[in-house]
Amino acid sequence: MSLPAEVRAVVSSYLELAPGLPATERNLAAMLKRIEEFGNYRILHATATVAASTVIINIGGTKKRPVLVLDVFEARVRGDLGPSPVTVFRSAQPVTTQGLLTGMVEVKDALARLSRGLCERCALEQPPLKRLKATGMPSCIDCAISSAFGL
């Protein structure tokens, strides 16, 4: 059951995106406006010596049905000339403040899972697959299901 918009707005006003940064409609609207202005918004914190994950936010979809697409890439150092980074998580949301908030929550969860490393079983596939481990599981959700059947 989804909550009415008024209730979601009240709940959202009590959430914090970060310490001292409340998830108010005003703050989310300002962030969404900035992302829309850029068109391809990149969050890069890697340095030449310290690897970090990259998050890229795009407005995709069609003109009639635009979609806010948030991609998480595995950690790399800045200037890494190896193979192109692989998207390990994608969230597609409506281009609204609620969509941005939902995408932020999903990306934060994905980054936390990424910090536990990628699925080792998928890494053994040919070619190797890069999948996030499922929350509370030692592997990705598909490998967890296979393991549950002893496969």
Contact footprint for Zn ion (CB under 5 A): 119, 121-122, 131, 139-140, 143
Least distance from Zn ion to the Cβ atom of residue 144, Å: 8
Residue (21 or 86) nearer to Zn ion, CB: 86
3-state secondary structure of 90: strand
Nearer to Zn ion, 113 or 121 (CB): 121
State in angstroms the smallest separation of the CB of 85 from Zn ion. 19
Nearer to Zn ion, 10 or 123 (CB): 123
- Chain Cα centroid distance, residue 22: 19
CB of 70 to Zn ion, least distance (A): 22
